[in-house]
Each structure stands twice: as C-alpha cells, then as structure tokens.
Structure 1
Amino acid sequence: MKIYFACSIRGGRNDAEIYAELAVYIKSKSTLLTEIFADSKLTSQGMNEPNNQIWQTDMNWIKEADAIIAEVTNPSLGVGYEIAKAEELGKPILALYQPKGGSRLSAMIEGSPKTGVVYYNNLKEAKNAIDIFINNHN
C-alpha cells in the first residue's frame, strides 16, 4: 500500500518531531511516498524547488497513493488542499488531530464525510489509528 503522508511545512514545523515519528511508523507498515516531509532538516521555508514543481510533485504523489494520512494539528493551507484533492480522487483519508492549547480542528476537515478524523493524545494512540486505517484499506 502506498501512503501519502501530509503534514504542515510552510504553515509551521512546531510538530516536526511528531511528523518524523509518524512517518517512520507509516514506513514500517507500507510504502511512504512523502518521506521528505518528515525530514528534520526541512524548515517552514519548505523545499528548495519552484512552487509549480512542488505542486506537480505533490499532485503526482497524491494520484499514485492508495491512501492519505494527514497530521492536521497545526493548521496548514497546503494540507487542506491536499486532503481536498485526495477526496476528489476518491482516496481513503485519515486525519490525525492532537487537541492542545484550546485550538479546534477546522470544520472543513472534521465535517467532511470523506475524511476519517481521529483525535489522539499521544503517539501510541496515533499509531493505533494508523494500524486500523491501513488494515481497513489494505
């Protein structure tokens, strides 16, 4: 199974350690197309590529993916866009959200009938949600 893992890049890298841990876990269970997104050297400036090339690469990965797993705790326009594109393509989607600091998940993500949302408090819970998602869509 090929997984597109989406996480905040230009929207902020505050949770980069969580992204890295989730990416390593996903990679242990399936083929991870977006390993670069979890790279600790990747900053909020993003990849050193022209925007149109980044868009094309990401769209190709989304099309190639069998499913999408998105960490959506940190609001990101790009992740929302990727989720919407995946919905259009009929891809199964898991959105992982860690409630903290009184923030709330976007209604556009939580309200979507095509996106499965799982709230998690720790990485063990997130990994369990990933296991269930992959097993249900493999």
Structure 2
Amino acid sequence: MSLNIYFCGSIRGGRQDVAVYQKLVKALQTYGKVLTEHVSDRVISEKVIVAEVTQPSLGVGYELGRAVAMNKRILCLFRPSSGRVLSAMIRGAETAGSMFKVQDYTEEEAEKIIEEYFSTLDQERTL
C-alpha cells in the first residue's frame, strides 16, 4: 500500500513534542509518502490525515476541520500521559462508522497503533 499521508502537529503552539512527531513520521513513512505542512489546501490529494493532537494547536484544529470537510480519513493521536485533556470537540468527532478516529497512545505503542490503523485501511481497500 502506498498512500499520501498528511501529518500535522503543533508548530507555533509549542514544539515540546518534536521528537514524538519525528518518531510518528518515521513510522508513517512505512505506509506511504508523508507530505509536509506546507502543502496548500487546493492541492491536497491524500487519503489519510494523521494528527498528533496532544499539544493544543489552533492550526491543527483548522487542518482537521478542512480534512473533515474534504471527507478525508483522519487518525488523531493523543497521549494522556501529558496531563492534558483532549478538546471535547476532537474527542467527540469520532462516531460509529465515521472516518474520524481518535486513539490514545503511549510513545512505546505508537508504531503498533499506526500499523493496526493502516492494516485496517488495507483490509477495507481489498473488500
């Protein structure tokens, strides 16, 4: 499977999680080309959005809203160990059968969660 994957994480809201972002991007590269945050909305053609949402960010929230409007598959990753509480709007966006998924994770299990998510997508594509 080779997908275009748009990864988003906080940039101006705080760069405390940059090492986590690097690890996630490396894991995502197994499943396709990871696009940068510099891709404009008009040319976004990816099928999957992966957002690390632990660090609050208006920009990431905006990107997620645009992705929902464009009917994209979305995986939001949140680390409860951060002591933060995920926005109720993001947490509540996942509904049964929706393409919006929120997954709590630890750094140690990040790669496994990503693998399981993309395996499920792969199975859906072969049906």
Instruction: Say yes or no: TM over 0.5.
Output: yes
Matched, 1:91 2:72: yes
Question: Per-residue displacement from partner, 1:28-50 (whole Å, max 9, x unpaired)?
Answer: 2211112xx6xxxxxxxxxxxxx
Shift of 1:75: 0.2
CA separation in 2, counterparts of 1:5 and 1:30?
11
SS in 2 for 1:134: helix
Contact 1:98-1:120 at 8 Å conserved across structures: yes
Contact 2:54-2:82 at 8 Å conserved across structures: no
Q: Percent of pairs identical after alignment?
A: 39
Which residue of 111, 114, 117 maps to 2:102?
A: 117
SS in 1 for 2:5: strand
RMSD, matched Cα: 1.6
Matched, 1:106 2:81: no
Q: TM-score scaled by structure 2? A: 0.83
Which residue of 61, 71, 78 maps to 2:59?
A: 78
Moved more, 25-34 or 90-99: 25-34
Which segments of 5 or more consecutive residues in structure 2 lack a partner in the other structure?
123-127
Which segments of 5 or more consecutive residues in structure 1 lack a partner in the other structure?
38-53
Q: Larger strand proportion, structure 1 or 2? A: 2
Q: How many residues align?
A: 116
Contact 1:92-1:137 at 8 Å conserved across structures: no
One-letter amino acid of the counterpart of residue 50, structure 2 = I
Change (3 A) 1:136 1:60: farther
One-letter amino acid of the counterpart of residue 48, structure 2 = A
